[in-house]
């Protein structure tokens, strides 16, 4: 119907011509979708906005952090990695940037990827004096070990996770055992999630490792404990991230830098409006937590989550796009 109208109306014909020009300028795009929920929904959001708002022909390719970033840095493909956790591959990103193969165009998560030790908000509200790891360690009675109520428990992630290694080392660094705490191995990601859900539903004390953004933190309000000591990159590398290092020293958990990576050839050929969108497009961890909680509760795909976000958060995403693109996106929903 639109094509028929365009063929019989000069005004619509001009608009149609502009649309085709935009599509030609944007062209085919490959967007990397990493294998976790926030990256999945963001890649689908970019696909919908670029296709419907800017006339692109974008497709998603599924990958993981290391192969995707390495491929972009060495070969310039895929075109966009919407949620790249670059601290995992600092040397690769540095080399790819210096050699002109990739460009960082902003951060989708300006809060950063946040890891650390958390407590339920109801515990934090009831005990406003507990703000740091040291504060929590003064109160083992508030975080009882399910196997021994006389001791406190620090809940760890499953074996094989970097966060599990770090938590084990910080347990030693902060002398948690002397403070009356045991370190609990949850055995799996499901076990870790289940321990939080169980504590929350019973309004019991809980302290342990987790990270954001995640669906679980969209469902259960948790407060991250401050380390009470500064970051120490050298100590982090020397001992805290090394499982068999015997003498870790206390240090704050650094915030992971999350950026949008774009292949340099793509950045040079695509129109400025597309690059402007990628630079502006960002959301808070709280926003993503709540979106992922909705996706989990509704067994929604990344595509479902992207459309739900666009339908429910016009006040956020319209600031990322041009007015013309906004009208097209709304019409496509």
Does 158 share its domain with 65? no
Q: In sequence order, what are the residues at sequence separation of 6 or more whose Cβ sits closer than 8 angstroms to the Cβ of residue 257?
A: 85, 86, 87, 107, 112, 113
- Does some domain include residue 52? yes
CA neighbor of 153 nearest in space, from 113, 220, 198, 219 = 198
User: Which pLDDT value is given to residue 12?
Assistant: 34
Q: In sequence order, what are the residues at sequence separation of 6 or more whose Cβ sits closer than 8 angstroms to the Cβ of residue 247?
A: 239
DSSP E strand boundaries for 141-265: 144-145, 148-156, 181-185, 208-212, 222-224, 258-263
Contact indicator for 155, 181 with CB cutoff of 8 Å = no
Ranges of the chain with pLDDT below 70: 1-25
- Does some domain include residue 251? yes
Task: Determine which helix (DSSP H) or strand (DSSP E) holds 139, and give its type and residue range.
Answer: none
Does 56 share its domain with 140? no
Among 220, 255, 290, the domain-final residue is 255
DSSP string, 268-319: HHS-HHHHHHHHH----HHHHHHHHHHHHHTT--HHHHHHHHHHH-HHHHTT
Does 279 share its domain with 245? no
- Chain-centroid distance of CA 80 in Å reads 16
Does 183 share its domain with 250? yes
Does 86 share its domain with 147? no
Does 264 share its domain with 230? no
In three-state secondary structure terms, 244 is coil
- Does some domain include residue 309? yes
As a whole number of angstroms, the distance between CA 172 and CA 166 comes to 10
Does 219 share its domain with 303? no
Task: Determine which helix (DSSP H) or strand (DSSP E) holds 29, and give its type and residue range.
Answer: strand 28-33
Which structural domain range is residue 263 located in? 28-111+257-332
> Number of helices (H) and strands (E), helices first, in the chain?
17, 11
User: Which pLDDT value is given to residue 7?
Assistant: 37
Does 89 share its domain with 128? no
Which CATH number is 200's domain given? 3.40.190.100
- Does some domain include residue 50? yes
Does 107 share its domain with 150? no
Contact indicator for 108, 258 with CB cutoff of 8 Å = yes
Total domain count for the chain?
A: 2
User: Which pLDDT value is given to residue 3?
Assistant: 36
- Does some domain include residue 301? yes
**Is the Cα dihedral 292, 294, 298, 300 positive or negative?**
negative
Does 84 share its domain with 122? no
Does 287 share its domain with 173? no
Which CATH number is 84's domain given? 3.40.190.10
User: Which pLDDT value is given to residue 271?
Assistant: 87
Among 236, 255, 274, the domain-final residue is 255
As a whole number of angstroms, the distance between CA 318 and CA 330 comes to 10
User: Which pLDDT value is given to residue 162?
Assistant: 87
Among 255, 275, 300, the domain-final residue is 255
**Is the Cα dihedral 134, 136, 137, 138 positive or negative?**
positive
Does 186 share its domain with 223? yes
């Amino acid at each position: 119907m639109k094509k028929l109208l365009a063929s019989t109306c000069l005004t619509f014909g001009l608009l149609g011509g502009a649309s085709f020009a935009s599509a030609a300028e944007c062209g085919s795009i490959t967007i990397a979708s990493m294998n976790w929920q926030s990256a999945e929904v963001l890649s689908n959001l970019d696909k919908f906005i670029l296709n419907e708002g800017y006339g692109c022909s974008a497709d998603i390719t599924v990958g993981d952090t290391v192969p995707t970033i390495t491929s972009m840095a060495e070969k310039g493909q895929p075109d966009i990695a919407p949620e790249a956790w670059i601290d995992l591959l600092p040397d690769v990103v540095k080399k790819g940037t210096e050699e002109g193969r990739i460009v960082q165009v902003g951060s989708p998560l300006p809060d950063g990827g946040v890891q650390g030790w958390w407590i339920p908000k109801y515990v934090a509200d009831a005990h406003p004096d507990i703000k740091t790891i040291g504060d929590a360690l003064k109160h083992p009675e508030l975080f009882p070990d399910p196997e021994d109520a006389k001791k406190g428990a620090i809940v760890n992630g499953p074996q094989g996770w970097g966060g599990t290694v770090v938590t084990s080392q910080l347990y030693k660094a902060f002398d948690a055992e002397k403070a009356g705490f045991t370190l609990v191995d949850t055995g799996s990601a499901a076990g870790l999630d289940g321990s939080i859900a169980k504590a929350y539903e019973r309004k019991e004390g809980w302290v342990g490792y987790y990270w954001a953004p995640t669906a679980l933190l969209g469902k259960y309000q948790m407060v991250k404990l401050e380390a009470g000591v500064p970051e120490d990159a050298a100590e982090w590398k020397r001992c805290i991230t090394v499982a068999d290092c015997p003498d870790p020293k206390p240090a704050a958990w650094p915030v992971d830098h999350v950026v949008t990576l774009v292949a340099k050839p793509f950045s040079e050929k695509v129109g400025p409006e597309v690059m402007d969108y990628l630079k502006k497009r960002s959301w808070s961890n709280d926003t993503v937590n709540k979106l992922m909680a909705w996706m989990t509760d509704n067994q929604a795909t990344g595509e479902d989550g992207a459309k739900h976000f666009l339908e429910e958060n016009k006040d956020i995403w319209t600031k990322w796009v041009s007015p013309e693109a906004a009208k097209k996106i709304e019409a496509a929903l």
